């Protein structure tokens, strides 16, 4: 079946450095994507929704890039701070549009 | 913002017993979901639910699983009987519609089957 791969599984960066998380999806028909942040004991918090027509998406302190040719979606935190420490998940909307396929998650640690 | 609650946060039961996981979705949402995450693996879709019916389910949604939402109450996932491979974190989500509409996720229930 269709898959979403995410890397790296763990990432440690210093405060102020950038952090990049990459997801690769297999379904060429994927057209809607999501990035989530999960803090300990909390539900997934939506960071951004990405429609396939937009390759560069700016958020607060991060950028999401969509490379349809390589079927890759990346989350780039530009200047990480300790509050960014969490597990990050990407997801792709299913063909049916009725559920999401998730990546395996990336545990990000930002060290002061 | 809107929150989805899940009760309990942890549940430990013996294999073969029945368990019910409860989800309190966002109040005006009509679409409900369960996802399963085995430790160290991806969160995977189990089932979605709308208007009192299962609309779609994955191969992970075994015959021992059932979902319901009696009027105005919790959206529940029942497993009867449980098996060792049911040990996982179960996430509930709700949304106002399908597709790109935001799914709001609960914090998960960690189920351990002994």
Alpha carbon of A93: minimum distance to chain B alpha carbons (Å):
7
Contact in structure between A52 and A31 (CB atoms under 8 Å): yes
User: What pLDDT is recorded for position A86?
Assistant: 95
Across A14-18, B8-12, B36-40, B88-92, least confident range? B36-40
Residue B16 pLDDT class (50, 70, 90 cuts): very high
User: What pLDDT is recorded for position A55?
Assistant: 80
* H/E element, B25: none
Give mean pLDDT, residues B21-45: 92
Name the DSSP class of A83: G
Q: What percent of chain B has pLDDT over 70?
A: 100
Alpha carbon of B113: minimum distance to chain A alpha carbons (Å):
20
Residue A59, pLDDT > 80, answer yes
In total, the C-beta contacts within 8 angstroms joining chain A to chain B are: 52
Tokens 């098996």 belong to residue: B83
Best of A98, A104, A106, A107 to disrupt the B interface (most B CBs within 10 Å) is: A98
Pick from A100, A35, A52: nearest CA to B44: A100
Give mean pLDDT, residues B54-82: 94
CB contact under 8 A, A98 and B48: yes
Neighbour count for residue B33 (Cβ, 10 Å): 28
The sign one gets for the Cα dihedral B105, B100, A91, B56 is: positive
Contact in structure between B112 and B61 (CB atoms under 8 Å): no
Chain A residue closest in CA terms to B106: A43
Give mean pLDDT, residues B72-85: 95
Residue A36 pLDDT class (50, 70, 90 cuts): very high
User: What pLDDT is recorded for position A33?
Assistant: 93
How many Å separate Cα A52 from the centre of its chain? 14
Residue B80, pLDDT > 90, answer yes
Chain B residue closest in CA terms to A9: B40
Residue B39 pLDDT class (50, 70, 90 cuts): confident
Selecting from A49, A89, A97 the residue whose C-beta is nearest the C-beta of B43 gives A89
Chain A residue closest in CA terms to B92: A43
Name the DSSP class of B103: P
Give mean pLDDT, residues B9-21: 97
User: What pLDDT is recorded for position B81?
Assistant: 97
Q: Are strands A44-51 and B10-13 parallel, antiparallel or unpaired?
A: unpaired
What percent helix, strand, coil does chain B show, rounded to 5? Answer: 5, 50, 45
Tokens 């803090």 belong to residue: A39
CB contact under 8 A, B45 and A101: yes
C-alpha span between B81 and B93 (Å, rounded): 24
* Mean pLDDT for all residues in chain B: 94
| Residues of chain A contacting residue B103, judged by C-beta atoms under 8 Å apart | 100
Give mean pLDDT, residues A52-75: 88
Alpha carbon of B42: minimum distance to chain A alpha carbons (Å):
4
> What's chain B's Rg over C-alpha atoms?
13
Selecting from A42, A89, A103 the residue whose C-beta is nearest the C-beta of B107 gives A42
> What's chain A's Rg over C-alpha atoms?
13
Pick from B102, B83, B91, B113: nearest CA to B21: B91
């Amino acid at each position: 079946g269709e898959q979403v791969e995410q890397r790296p599984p763990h990432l440690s960066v210093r405060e102020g450095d950038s952090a990049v998380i990459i997801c690769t999806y297999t379904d060429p028909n994927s057209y809607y994507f999501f990035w989530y942040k999960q803090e300990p004991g909390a539900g997934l918090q939506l960071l951004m929704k990405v429609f396939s027509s937009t390759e560069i998406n700016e958020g607060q302190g991060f950028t999401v890039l969509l490379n349809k040719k390589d079927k890759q979606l990346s989350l780039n935190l530009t200047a990480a701070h300790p509050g960014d420490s969490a597990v990050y998940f990407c997801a792709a909307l299913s063909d049916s549009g009725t559920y999401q396929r998730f990546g395996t998650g990336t545990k990000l640690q930002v060290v002061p | 913002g809107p929150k989805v609650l899940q009760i309990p946060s942890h549940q430990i039961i013996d294999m073969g017993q029945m368990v019910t996981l409860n989800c309190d979705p966002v109040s005006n949402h009509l679409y409900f979901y369960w996802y399963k995450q085995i430790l160290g693996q991806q969160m995977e879709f189990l089932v979605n639910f709308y208007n009192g019916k299962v609309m779609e389910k994955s191969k992970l949604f075994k015959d021992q699983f059932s979902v319901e939402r009696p009027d105005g109450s919790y959206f529940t996932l029942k497993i009867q009987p449980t098996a060792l491979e049911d040990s996982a974190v179960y996430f509930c989500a709700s949304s106002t519609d399908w597709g790109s509409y935001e799914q709001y996720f609960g914090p998960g229930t960690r189920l351990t089957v002994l």
